[in-house]
Amino acid sequence: MSEPTPELATQAGDDLLAELADDFLRRHRAGEHPSVKEYAAKHPELAVRIGDLFPAVIAMEQPGVNATLDFTPSAERVGATIGRYKLLERIGEGGFGVVYLAEQQQPVRRKVALKVIKPGTDTQQVIARFEAERQALALMDHENIAKVLDAGATDSGRPYFVMELVRGVPITEFCDANQLPPRERLELFVKVCRAVQHAHTKGVIHRDIKPTNVLVTLHDGAGVPKVIDFGVAKATGQQLTDKTLFTQFAQMVGTPLYMSPEQAALSGLNIDTRSDVYSLGVLLYELLTGTTPIDRETLGKAAYDEVCRVIREQEPPTPSTRLSTLGETLAAVSANRQCDARRLGQSVRGELDWIVMKALE
């Protein structure tokens, strides 16, 4: 097998660095204390760049810093106009993309979400992944998947795409805030399953199904789930972009708490629609029990290799068994589902236990 060209290796390194920086920032915002040395040790080929970048990432989180350190071109900041869209507010950020609330000026005036590549991350590899997300969304035509409305490039040449604006909250938060009983939670979950099935029929695997990527909005007083963020989607058949898209061996793609054992193997091999089914199983588990199959705190404290091992090897308890171990928190979980602990256990035990565990096989 021929060695990868230096150009490809550099691009892959840039992409992996962005992914690692995103994971490092996510853990920091979650109240963890991720170690720069840990990331550098796991990725020695990027150790110097990790040592330079990660402390700056944390520094940028300090109050008032973003106001003085903004490397975005002035023509692409809040208040500016990109194409037909005026940028109103910065509402989201990932490893290589920034999402703005924007207002379409013509031919109709409406609020939309505009996603653009971050300055400094626009390598060929990142652009390929960005375009893959745009193409994945463009393939979809389902009421429970956010729609792509437009696409283009900024004056500085960075690609962007425009999506339906989803004003919602994570499905777990929506269900708890409205104290939905198990049956109504299942009704929402079924709609999510149909949306993911639609993506699969289009040849697209999401690879990062979790509550924050399933937002619920209210329409005529009823909850409507929307699957968002196909940023790490994978095609099962046709390519999503004609640009080279390379996922480095031993690169984690997805969110550990909701990740299938195949994804935690890090090889990128054997990833198919069953990985999404597994993540849906974890989501249903959480909707029913208020917690995930793998303990959040345990996983949060574990080192990188241990996280991967636990996901691959730990056998999760059934939802009804997990409920019986919640102790004092069980009363609150039951109240959020409009039933007492005994009734909740009875409703989960049996078919729902079987359905969840079948998905987690």
Q: Which residues are identified as catalytic? A: 208
CA–CA separation, 119 vs 158, rounded Å? 8
Phi, psi of 85 (to 5 degrees): -120, 125
Q: Write the secondary structure of the chain as one string of H (helix), E (strand) and C (coil).
A: CCCCCHHHHHHHHHHHHHHHHHHHHHHHHCCCCCCHHHHHHHCHHHHHHHHHHHHHHHHCCCCCHHHHCCCCCHHHCCCCEECCEEEEEEEEECCCEEEEEEEECCCCCEEEEEEEECCCCCCHHHHHHHHHHHHHHHHCCCCCECCEEEEEECCCCCEEEEEECCCCEEHHHHHHHCCCCHHHHHHHHHHHHHHHHHHHHCCEECCCCCHHHEEEEEECCEEEEEECCCCCCEECCCCCCCCCCCCCCCCCCCCHHHCCHHHHCCCCCCCCHHHHHHHHHHHHHHHHHCCCCCCHHHHHHCCHHHHHHHHHHCCCCCHHHHHCCCCCHHHHHHHCCCCCHHHHHHHHCCHHHHHHHHHCC
Q: What is the distance between the alpha carbons of residues 102 and 169, in angstroms, rounded to a whole number? A: 19
Instruction: Give yes or no for a cis peptide into 107 (omega within 30° of 0).
Output: yes
Which residue type sits at 83?
G
- For residue 59, CA distances in Å to 66, 76, 85 come to 9, 23, 31
d(CA 133, CA 159): 12
